[in-house]
Structure formats: structure tokens, C-alpha cells
Amino acid sequence: MSLQIISIILGSLTLASALMVVLSKHPVRSVIYLVVTFFFITSMYIMMNAQFLAIVNMIVYAGAIMVLFLFVLMLLNLNKEVEPTTTIGAQFAAFIAGGSLFLVLITALKETLILGQSYRHQDNQIGLVKELGNLLFTKYVVAFELTSILFIAAMVGAILLAKREKQIIE
């Protein structure tokens, strides 16, 4: 029962902080709230015994990526800039669209086979590093190797785009 309560609290906090990401006027606050959101998500992973992912999520997302975001924000020195606002109409439309999207998704939940089913605790070791490592380097080794292309490409691209051209300096 305590698990239940913790889950509910975590879930609510996750959603609340996610909402704050969207709602806060200042981008830096958005970043902070996002980190908080990630933190809660990580804790949910732990609740589901997905330890490896929890660690990765913490390190990669909350750590690396979010720092990158902050870094870029600082680099562009935007914190003083007035946050651009959206018209009420557009907000309303977006809200309606989002709401209906959510409704639609909830419909998917309804009558689903797994509705109301609890965790299956009998095989809860899958989220451990060992299990996943096994899987990653046997069944998904091709995919794993191929991500190197992704990274190379992303790296090349990032450098290419972010690098200052000489002409611009001169």
C-alpha cells in the first residue's frame, strides 16, 4: 500500500513539474523543472526495478543533456531577454488539441488487455545491468554498433553547425 501511495505522489509530482516546464516564463526555470521531472521519472524507473535505465536516465538526461541545455542558454545569454508570448487563441487551440489527444490516448487505455493488471514480480530481474547487458551485446549488438554512426553524424553535424565561420568573425 505504501508503494501505491508513493507511486501516486511521484506521478503527481512528475506531472506537476512537467507542467511547470511548459508554464514557467523563464527558460532557465524550465530547465530546472525539467531536471526535476527527470528526477521523478528516474524514481519511477526505480519503482519498476529498471535500475540500469534509472542510472542512465540520471546521468545522461539529468546530467549531460540538461547541462548542455543550460550551457546553450548561457552561451546565447538569453536569460535577460523577454520571453516571447503566445496569443490566447493559439494557446486555446493548442490546449484543445492537447486535451483531445489526451482523451484519445485514454481511450486506448480503456478496454486494453492489461488494464488494471499489476506488476509481474515473478521475473523482475530484467531491469538489472547484467540482464540488459546480455541482451544488448547479443541480440541487439548490431543496433548498438550502428548507433556509432548516429553519434558520428551528430558529432560532425554539431561541430559543423556550431563552429564559427571565419568569414563571420572577420
Partner 1 sequence: MDSIVILFISGLLGLFVGMRRQPLSALVISSLGLTGAALAAYFRGQYTSPLAAYTAYIPTQSAVVILLCIVTLLAIWGGYQRYRQENEHTGDYLSLVLFSLCGAIMMAQPNDLMLFFIGLEILSIPIYVLVGIEKGSALSAEAAVKYFFTGSFASAILLFGIALLYGATGSFQLVEIQSNLAIGIWQSPMAMIGSLFLLAGFAFKIGAVPFHFWGPDVYQGASNAVLMYMSTVVKITGIYAIVNVFGQIFRDSYFYWIDLISLLIVLSMFYGYITAWKQTSFKRLIAYSSIANAGLMLFALADIHNSNIFLFVAAYAFATIPLVTINEFADQNSDDLSNWEGIAWKNPLVGAALVLALFSLAGIPPLAGFFGKFSLLWSAVPHIPYTAVLALIASVIGAFVYLRLLMLALKKPEVQVKKALSAEQTIVLLLTTISSITALYLI
Partner 2 sequence: MQAASSIGTSLDFYLFVSFALFTIGAIGAMTRKNMIVLLMCIELMLNAVNLMLVTFSTYYGNGDAQIFVFFTMVVAAAEATVGLSIIIMAYRNLKSIDIDMYNQLKN
Partner 3 sequence: MAKDLTLLFILALPLIGFAINGVFGKKLPKAFVGGLATGVVFIAFLLATTLFSGLHGTQIVKLFNIIDFDGLRINASFQIDALSIWMTLIITGIGSLIHLFSMGYMSHDEGYHKFFTYLNLFIFSMLILVLGSNYFVLFFGWEGVGMCSYLLISFHYNDAQKGEANSLAGRKAFIMNRIGDVGLLLALFMLIGQFQTLEFLRIGKALQDNAVLQGSALFFITLCLFIAATGKSAQIPLFTWLPDAMAGPTPVSALIHAATMVTAGIYLTVRSNFLFELAPATKDIIMYIGLATTLLAAFMALRQNDIKKVLAYSTVSQLGLMFVALGFGAYSVALFHVTTHAFFKALLFLGSGSVIHGMHEEQDIRQMGGLAKLMPITHFTFLIGTMAIAGIPFLSGFFSKDEIMAQALHHNPTIYVVLVLAVTMTAVYMFRLYFLTFHGTFRGGDTLKSKVHESGTSMTLPLIVLAVLSVFGGLLNLPGLFFKNAAHWFDHYLSHGTMGLDQVHNAHLPFTTSMALMIFASTIAIGAFAWAYLTYSKKGNIAKADEAQNGWERLSAQKLYVDEIYNSIFVKPLLALSDFAGKVIDIQMLRNGVYALADGVLNTANLSRKWQTGFLSNYLFWMVFGLITFVAYYILKLSVWH
Amino acid in position 80: K
From the list partner 3, partner 2, partner 1, none, partner contacted by residue 138 (C-beta under 5 to 8 A by kind): partner 1
Residue 112: CB minimum distance to partner 2, A: 8
Listing DSSP states for 91-108 in one string gives HHHHHHHHHHHHHHHHHH
Query: Judged by CB under 8 A, does residue 2 bind partner 3?
Result: no
Residue 159: CB minimum distance to partner 1, A: 9
Task: Out of 77, 86, 118, 167, name the contact with partner 3 by CB under 8 A.
Answer: 86
3-state secondary structure 7-76: HHHHHHHHHHHHHHHHHCCCHHHHHHHHHHHHHHHHHHHHHCCCHHHHHHHHHHHHHHHHHHHHHHHHHH
Query: Judged by CB under 8 A, does residue 133 bind partner 3?
Result: no
Binding part of the chain for partner 1, among 19-27, 33-41, 55-63, 140-148 by CB under 8 A, reads: 140-148
Query: Judged by CB under 8 A, does residue 138 bind partner 1?
Result: yes
The DSSP 8-state label assigned to residue 165 in this structure reads: P
Query: Judged by CB under 8 A, does residue 23 bind partner 3?
Result: no
Q: What track of x and - describes contact with partner 2 for positions 97 through 126 (by CB under 8 A)?
A: xxx-xx--xx--x--x-xxxxxxx-xxx-x
Assess contact for 10 and 42: CB atoms under 8 A: no
Name which of 60, 65, 69, 59 is nearest 29 in CA terms: 69
C-alpha cell at 19: 507542467
Query: Judged by CB under 8 A, does residue 93 bind partner 3?
Result: yes
Nearer to partner 3, 104 or 150 (CB): 104
Residue 38: CB minimum distance to partner 2, A: 7
Name which of 31, 63, 122 is nearest 54 in CA terms: 63
Assess contact for 57 and 127: CB atoms under 8 A: no
Residues that bind partner 1 (CB under 8 A): 104-105, 107-114, 138-143, 146-147, 149-150, 152-154, 156-158, 160-161, 165, 167-168
